[in-house]
Structure 1
Amino acid sequence: MDPLLESVRDQVQFTWPAWLIIAAYMIFTTWLGHRLSGRQATIRDFFLGGRRLPWYAVCGSIIATELSAMTLVVAPAFLWSATGDMSYAVLGVGTILARIVVGYWFVPHYYAEEIYSPYEYIGNRLGERAGRTTSLLFMLGGVLGQGTRVLLTAVVLQVVTGISIFWSIWIVGLVAVLWTWMGGITTVIWTDVIQFVVFLFSSLLMMLIVLWEFPPTGVVSPGLVFNLAWEEGKFHWLNFEFDLTQSYTVWAGLIASTIGGLAAYGTDQMLVQRLFCCRDPREARKAIIWSSAGQIMMVICLLTGVGLWAYYQRSGLPDTPNAWEAAQIAENTNRLVPVFIKFRMPWYLGGIMVAGIFAAAISSLDSILAALAQQTLAWTRGRRGEQQGDVREIALSRLYVILWAIVLCGMATVFQMLIVRELSSAEASGTFGSGLLIELALAVVGYTSGGILGFFLLALVPSWRVEGRGLEWAAALSVMTIFAITQHAGWAFTALLAAGAALIAAALGLLPERRAAFTLKLLPFIAGILLLNRVQTDGLRFAWPYGAGGGGEAAAFIRLGWPWFVPLGCLVMVTAAWTLCRRQGGRGAEEAPGG
């Protein structure tokens, strides 16, 4: 164990009785989820819950999955920095608007036929290639986004227990596999409902404990916290500046967050899979719209962050924070909540809090495992109708759950290695605490979500539809565009050059009847992406990526706040599809040629 951890062991409030609480919670949740799941006799039962789940259970599951441990642990850390405030909450406005659009526009189309995912809907209208491409984009985005959530939960486990981060990652993955394995989506949803209740209780509990511990009287002092936070601008949340490089403006909340919400609640299989489990479109609509209540818990967690900021930075209590607390928080602000649990909470309350964090984390992880397994099964099944029998497909689905859990835990390990390297660089330069996991998790999903939403809109609006041949190139251009504005080092430009060359080679080899015309249409997109990656905003000059003066991450390159990734990716996807592919002209729902 770390010598610094040994030196403060006697001060730690989190002891073995707290683990008894967590163990009891895990055992109870596992048992109850298994009892409620019923018998999974068919693949429809395993992935759709037989389409008989009540809307309120689905609603609670959506909230629990959406918020995850990211909200409970990292949202308070968002307030810790000198510029941290409540501006993150403005994005919630767009997510509520998006849920309404999804409920009234997307959901009826999903229930018009027996499908298991939005990507089947896309494939039925734009061709099988389009369905497979969107499925692949979802898998890529899911692994990137959920890998950060695995890591976040492992960080909590590491700080509280002293278990190495490596083993913490794999313990989290093991529990998620167990819950998903037992009963498919039905177990996932009913355990999510339990997680939702525990999550709500934990978020309220943490806020109350912070206030209770606050000086000078040792009793609830909300007025004192409010005054301190108000003076430092922690309650500021409305920024009307129209600046696309900023992530938390009113315009990002109204425009970017709404479009991003359409992608999350309308095309992300992890959340949409729940809507397919309702009895009818009316109940699915109620589930998605009422899930807007989850934004209340987001605000609670942000307010808790205000309290923790005041407690640690302005309290004036002796030994608050102690040397170990101060070092841990300064090195990585994502540790703020677990450090508070370890040193400032009584063991019984700490046990409840860690159970709540695990509840939030596992509800997201079992969700993505179920969604990834379903998509993998669709890939390996082959053409529609070539099923292998329910018993065999359920067995395969459970195998895919295990395989994807290994991939997610592996991705979390990679992210941890990258963060360690970043923190080492920060230590060398004398800076700490940068790189919030919540922004990393939300940003990496934006690489693929815009392309998926673009696919779905092309399928949904008859007059927008195109033939499937060529959509793979449009999807690649969408992902490359987001990569180009987020990575500006020389290696990134090399990667973009290689990707562009691969797209041209693929067009020449796979589209012999259209190679000349298609390549001429493709070249401007590739050239534009390369320029987007290297043009500097100070004088609009091109920065050569190699050699002296080539520029780097610190140069004034074109950048974009992460909420705008999805709108940009969607715009590129639709524009490229219209340019590269033949238009269907609203011919209805028949499969596109070439699928």
Structure 2
Amino acid sequence: MSWIDWSVLIAFLGYTVWDGTRQGKDASTIEGYLLANRSMPWWAAGLSVMATQASAITFIGTTGIAYVEDMRFVQTYLAIPFAMIFICMFLVPFFNKMQNFTAYEVLEERFGLKTRLTTAGLFLISRGLALGVVIAAPSYVLSLLLGLPLNVTIIIIGVIATAYTTVGGIAGVINTDVKQMAIMMFGLIFSFGLIWVNLPEEVNFNDALYLAGSLDKLTALDLNFDLSEKYNVWSGVIAAFFLMASYFGTDQTQVQRYLTTDSVKNARKSLLLTAYAKVPMQFFILLLGVMLYVFFIFNPAPASFRATEPVAETQEYQLAEERILKEYQLAHIAREGAALEAVQNRNPGTQQAFVNADKEMNEARQADLALQAEIQQADVNDTNYIFPYFILNHVPIGIIGLIVGGIFAAALSSIDSELNALTTVSIVDWYQRLKGDVHTEAHYVKSSRGVTFMWGAIATVSALLLGETKSIIELVNQIGSYFYGSILGVFVLLLWVKRATGTGALVGLISGMLSVFAFDRLFYNATTADYSFIFPWNEVPDGYAKAIEFLWLNPVGTAVVVLVGFLVSIAFKNR
């Protein structure tokens, strides 16, 4: 980056840190530090909900998915409007009536302390693990910018996020989220417009869509019902409903946002803002990834967007790499010519020629990635580097710093939100509850800041252990799917199963978690029609693939918790 971009980036990040920390001076009580005295406007809480979920993961992971695959990932979000209506109808009034600090306090009155602590503990584990991924996401960008090892950049972003979050409190988190959301949308819209205006004169927007459609990149809906398929309409509407209802309705990271509002009406408005805006925003971001693919049809693109050093260590590897890269360059040129021919003469013949040229180029690209993986003896992928590469090489000077600053600021908005939620659950559900409310407000505020620092350190270490992943955003949803369904099941027992007891809820919760981990290891062999549970300590035989993809783990967890919880409650009551 140029000195202008560095100046913009440093100024923007400096303002973000200042803006977040200056709110901390008003957080003299535990309610002020964790809930902003329940005084936040609904629109600010709503934008904070969106910013918390979006973050740098949205920039990097979602565009990368659309680039290397298609737009079917949008189906994951089809359930959000239904989930938000469900939460507004049943959970928001319940939480508002209780005037609680966390989503898990309400469990103790009905199900006892053990169930409350177990559920809160599952939240701490799931979000603690996911937070490592959220820290890793912007670290990819920083690594590309500075040329530093990924581990170093993880430490840098982890330390910055933890430092300013410890001081700011929830008011600082929400206030910065609003500004960060605006910068995030500017970056997305500007990048989309830049791609559009830099297409060749012979290629208009309709032509770009035609080329993308020819490669099935515009596929957004899959009506086939298949539990082993990650993304289809059924998993997006049914399975993802349980994920989204639990995430927005029982996850403290999100619940804490609308607990900061002053009424049921305003809490509902904050959630409905996400219900209306999230799916269109996600669709637009995926379309941006598709447009990136079309952009690089007509512009030079590396075989791998992820720089790897050293590329080749022996003469044999060097010769192999030179051969692959030559094939890639020739295939890239041929694809560009085939694309121009396809848009000028729209007929099945030119369209198929373009599809074949694209396939040949991608085969060369995959060969290069495979060679790098063989050299490094590790999985090598560049999904998370595609959009950062575009920013650094094609965005004008000055705007680069602002967009990259927006990515980092968006990342901070997720990191600080999750740190604040982890702190709230740690202090309210564990420390304060087990020790008794015997300390002063100043003590709890000081303890909250100390716990925030602790969670920041844990998350940073988690990010260091994580390493590379093919898709950041997929990994976040996968981690959540191990926990969210079971946690939602406990709240279903609380609200609608009157005969449920604390023992039933606790046994159901444990059973739900065990069933999720078991079904996650269920594999299927299409050739022999054989199902088999294969656990991590066993090698997966050839021909076997996951029988149930991760989104379906959410309804499995919920159903098992409710069924087992009900049966155990009945059995113990009859004794």
TM-score normalised by length of structure 2: 0.82
Q: Which residue of 2 aligns with 1:450?
A: 485
Note if 1:300 corresponds to 2:284: yes
Q: Which residue of 2 aligns with 1:289?
A: 272
Amino acid at match of 1:233: D
Name which of 395, 405, 411 aligns with 1:361: 411
In the aligned structure 2, how far is the partner of 1:18 from the partner of 1:553? 50
Flag the 1:16–1:476 CA change in 2: closer, same or farther, 3 A.
farther
**Pairing 1:232-243 to 2, within 5 Å after superposition:** 232-243=215-226
Q: Displacement of 1:556 after TM fit?
A: 2.4
In the aligned structure 2, how far is the partner of 1:228 from the partner of 1:182? 50
Q: Displacement of 1:570 after TM fit?
A: 1.0
- Between 338-347 and 114-123, the greater mean CA deviation after superposition: 338-347
1:379-417 superposed Cα distances (whole Å, 9 cap, x missing partner) = 11234852411101011101111110111111111110x
Q: Displacement of 1:162 after TM fit?
A: 0.9
Note if 1:168 corresponds to 2:148: no
Q: Displacement of 1:462 after TM fit?
A: 4.6
| Structure 2: gaps (5+ residues) | 309-364, 370-380
Name which of 257, 271, 274 aligns with 1:274: 257
Note if 1:309 corresponds to 2:293: yes
Q: Displacement of 1:444 after TM fit?
A: 1.1
**Pairing 1:463-474 to 2, within 5 Å after superposition:** 463=498, 465-469=499-503, 471-474=505-508
Q: Displacement of 1:23 after TM fit?
A: 1.1
C-alpha contact 1:138 1:268 (8 A) present in aligned 2: yes
Note if 1:246 corresponds to 2:229: yes
Q: Which residue of 1 aligns with 2:357?
A: none
In the aligned structure 2, how far is the partner of 1:557 from the partner of 1:477? 25
**Pairing 1:61-76 to 2, within 5 Å after superposition:** 61-76=48-63
- Between 465-474 and 566-575, the greater mean CA deviation after superposition: 465-474
Note if 1:27 corresponds to 2:14: yes
Q: Displacement of 1:168 after TM fit?
A: 0.9
Name which of 283, 290, 301 aligns with 1:321: 301
Amino acid at match of 2:279: Q
Q: Which residue of 2 aligns with 1:390?
A: 441
| Structure 1: gaps (5+ residues) | 1-13, 420-434, 488-532, 586-595
Flag the 1:544–1:276 CA change in 2: closer, same or farther, 3 A.
closer
Q: Which residue of 2 aligns with 1:482?
A: 516
Q: Displacement of 1:553 after TM fit?
A: 5.8
Note if 1:461 corresponds to 2:445: no
Q: CA RMSD in A?
A: 2.4
In the aligned structure 2, how far is the partner of 1:251 from the partner of 1:399? 44
Flag the 1:205–1:536 CA change in 2: closer, same or farther, 3 A.
same
Name which of 177, 195, 210 aligns with 1:227: 210
1:341-363 superposed Cα distances (whole Å, 9 cap, x missing partner) = 12222231211111111122111
In the aligned structure 1, how far is the partner of 2:235 from the partner of 2:286? 18
Q: Which residue of 1 aligns with 2:97?
A: 112
Q: Displacement of 1:277 after TM fit?
A: 0.3
In the aligned structure 1, how far is the partner of 2:292 from the partner of 2:44? 32
In the aligned structure 2, how far is the partner of 1:566 from the partner of 1:461? 19
Q: Displacement of 1:211 after TM fit?
A: 1.9
**Pairing 1:554-565 to 2, within 5 Å after superposition:** 554-556=542-544, 559-565=547-553
In the aligned structure 2, how far is the partner of 1:572 from the partner of 1:89? 27
C-alpha contact 2:45 2:174 (8 A) present in aligned 1: yes
Q: Which residue of 1 aligns with 2:47?
A: 60
Q: Displacement of 1:473 after TM fit?
A: 3.8
Amino acid at match of 1:446: S
1:491-522 superposed Cα distances (whole Å, 9 cap, x missing partner) = xxxxxxxxxxxxxxxxxxxxxxxxxxxxxxxx
Flag the 1:251–1:325 CA change in 2: closer, same or farther, 3 A.
closer
C-alpha contact 1:263 1:449 (8 A) present in aligned 2: yes
Note if 1:213 corresponds to 2:263: no
C-alpha contact 1:179 1:187 (8 A) present in aligned 2: no
In the aligned structure 2, how far is the partner of 1:196 from the partner of 1:28? 15
C-alpha contact 2:92 2:268 (8 A) present in aligned 1: yes
SS for the counterpart of 1:80 is: helix
Q: Which residue of 2 aligns with 1:412?
A: 463
C-alpha contact 2:520 2:550 (8 A) present in aligned 1: no
1:227-282 superposed Cα distances (whole Å, 9 cap, x missing partner) = 21121121121211111111221111221122211101100000000110001111
Name which of 536, 540, 565 aligns with 1:577: 565
Flag the 1:296–1:389 CA change in 2: closer, same or farther, 3 A.
same
Q: Which residue of 1 aligns with 2:335?
A: none
Q: Which residue of 1 aligns with 2:351?
A: none
SS for the counterpart of 1:347 is: coil
C-alpha contact 1:228 1:310 (8 A) present in aligned 2: yes
Flag the 1:370–1:457 CA change in 2: closer, same or farther, 3 A.
same
Q: Which residue of 1 aligns with 2:398?
A: 348
C-alpha contact 2:519 2:553 (8 A) present in aligned 1: no
Amino acid at match of 1:177: T
Flag the 1:539–1:32 CA change in 2: closer, same or farther, 3 A.
closer
C-alpha contact 1:534 1:545 (8 A) present in aligned 2: no
Q: Which residue of 2 aligns with 1:526?
A: none
Q: Displacement of 1:583 after TM fit?
A: 7.1
Flag the 1:30–1:553 CA change in 2: closer, same or farther, 3 A.
farther
In the aligned structure 2, how far is the partner of 1:119 from the partner of 1:388? 22
Q: Displacement of 1:534 after TM fit?
A: 6.9
Note if 1:567 corresponds to 2:547: no
C-alpha contact 1:173 1:405 (8 A) present in aligned 2: yes
Q: Displacement of 1:535 after TM fit?
A: 7.3
Amino acid at match of 1:450: G
Q: Displacement of 1:579 after TM fit?
A: 3.0
SS for the counterpart of 2:503 is: coil
1:205-233 superposed Cα distances (whole Å, 9 cap, x missing partner) = 1111222332247xx94233212112112
In the aligned structure 2, how far is the partner of 1:354 from the partner of 1:534? 41
Q: Displacement of 1:41 after TM fit?
A: 1.8
C-alpha contact 1:160 1:341 (8 A) present in aligned 2: no
1:111-136 superposed Cα distances (whole Å, 9 cap, x missing partner) = 11221111001122211111101101
- Between 380-389 and 16-25, the greater mean CA deviation after superposition: 380-389
In the aligned structure 1, how far is the partner of 2:520 from the partner of 2:412? 29
Q: Displacement of 1:138 after TM fit?
A: 0.4
SS for the counterpart of 2:487 is: helix
Amino acid at match of 1:461: W
In the aligned structure 2, how far is the partner of 1:19 from the partner of 1:226? 35
Q: Which residue of 1 aligns with 2:338?
A: none
Q: Which residue of 1 aligns with 2:386?
A: 336
Flag the 1:338–1:558 CA change in 2: closer, same or farther, 3 A.
closer
Q: Displacement of 1:543 after TM fit?
A: 7.2
SS for the counterpart of 1:131 is: helix
C-alpha contact 1:140 1:448 (8 A) present in aligned 2: no
Q: Which residue of 2 aligns with 1:257?
A: 240
In the aligned structure 2, how far is the partner of 1:482 from the partner of 1:452? 12
Q: Displacement of 1:542 after TM fit?
A: 5.1
Q: Which residue of 1 aligns with 2:336?
A: none
C-alpha contact 2:520 2:553 (8 A) present in aligned 1: no
Q: Which residue of 1 aligns with 2:420?
A: 370
In the aligned structure 2, how far is the partner of 1:323 from the partner of 1:561? 30
In the aligned structure 1, how far is the partner of 2:155 from the partner of 2:93? 39
